[in-house]
């Protein structure tokens, strides 16, 4: 019967196999980090390929990089950092037991910044690339000033679209996760004791932010802009 009594004292969301909530939280974060390690190596494969080809064809990569608009890349970096802050504040609101409307406010704001990032990328940046004829497979045109480097410049653009495209795909998944979090919050699923879905989704969101930090530095700023 003491089992039942202990059961009644459990905070919501507590799983029986854990000693206490602290251990449960650590296990959750650890599991998410194991997944993120696979993500590091997933993106790492592309970064490795990028490094190799950049070493082999540096001049072409500089030419290709200068086709990209720094203003788009930089603006999106700012937007994504804002979304990371609001995500962190959403988790903090849950930790400190704020009203659920406040948690939802920060989550929605995070989604708005995420959507702004994708909106800028798809409707401004990629449209601009399309008009400039620098999208491989969609009317890509060699320019006379590239000389014999044309195919290599096109290869840089392939790297650009695959890496930022894969990143954008992660952002879209992130927006789906955030939608679920908003619904869970609205249904009072979180408390200062139990907010694991918020915490590990935050880890994912911040990871995607980190990937972009490197993509911005490595794709947009090669060889300087002077």
Partner 1 sequence: MSDHSKPAGHVVPVRTYVFVFLALMAGTALTTGVAYIDLGRWNTVVALAIAFTKMMLVILFFMHVKYATGLTRVIILCGFFWLAIMIALTLSDELTRVWELNPAGWSALVPLLSHLWW
Q: Which among 151-159, 160-168, 179-187, 216-224 is the span making contact with partner 1, rule CB under 8 A?
A: 216-224
H-only helix segments in 96-223? 100-119, 127-131, 150-186, 196-215
Binding-site member from 46, 92, 109, 120 for partner 1 (CB under 8 A) = 92
In angstroms, what is the minimal distance from the CB of 158 to partner 1? Answer: 18
Of 118 and 203, which CB lies nearer to partner 1 in the complex structure?
Answer: 203
For residue 134, give the 3-state DSSP assignment. coil
Distances (CA, A) of 89 to 29, 83, 86, 109, 176: 18, 10, 5, 10, 19
Q: Is there binding between residue 224 and partner 1 (CB under 8 A)?
A: yes
Q: Is there binding between residue 36 and partner 1 (CB under 8 A)?
A: yes
> How far is Cα of residue 127 from the mean position of the Cα atoms in its chain?
21
Closest CA to 192 of 62, 49, 30, 22: 22
Binding-site member from 98, 143, 189, 206 for partner 1 (CB under 8 A) = 206
Query: φ, ψ for residue 68 (rounded to 5)?
Result: -85, 150
Query: Among residue numbers 154 through 173, which ones bind partner 1 (CB under 8 A)?
Result: none
Closest CA to 179 of 213, 92, 171, 211: 171
CB 39 within 8 A of CB 173: no
Residue ranges binding partner 1 (CB under 8 A): 6, 9-11, 14, 19-22, 25-26, 29-30, 33-34, 36-37, 40-41, 44-45, 47-48, 51-52, 55-56, 58, 70, 74, 77-78, 81-82, 84-85, 87-89, 92, 94-96, 192-193, 195, 199, 202-203, 206-207, 209-210, 213-214, 216-218, 220-226
């Amino acid at each position: 019967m003491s089992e039942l009594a202990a059961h009644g004292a459990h905070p919501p969301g507590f799983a029986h196999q854990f000693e206490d909530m602290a251990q449960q939280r650590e296990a959750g974060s650890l599991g998410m980090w194991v997944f993120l390690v696979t993500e590091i190596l997933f993106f790492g494969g592309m970064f490795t390929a990028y490094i190799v080809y950049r070493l082999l064809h540096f001049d072409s990569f500089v030419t290709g990089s200068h086709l990209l608009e720094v203003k788009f890349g930089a603006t999106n970096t700012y937007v994504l950092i804002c979304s990371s802050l609001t995500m962190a504040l959403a988790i903090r609101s849950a930790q400190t037991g704020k009203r659920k409307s406040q948690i939802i406010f920060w989550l929605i704001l995070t989604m708005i910044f995420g959507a702004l990032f994708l909106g800028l990328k798809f409707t401004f940046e990629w449209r601009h690339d399309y008009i400039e004829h620098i999208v491989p497979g969609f009317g890509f045109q060699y320019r006379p000033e590239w000389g014999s480097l044309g195919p290599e410049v096109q290869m840089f653009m392939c790297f650009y679209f695959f890496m930022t495209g894969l990143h954008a795909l992660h952002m879209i998944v992130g927006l789906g996760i955030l939608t679920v979090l908003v619904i869970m919050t609205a249904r009072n699923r979180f408390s200062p004791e139990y907010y694991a879905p918020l915490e590990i989704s935050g880890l994912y969101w911040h990871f995607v932010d980190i990937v972009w930090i490197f993509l911005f530095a490595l794709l947009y700023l090669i060889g300087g802009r002077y």
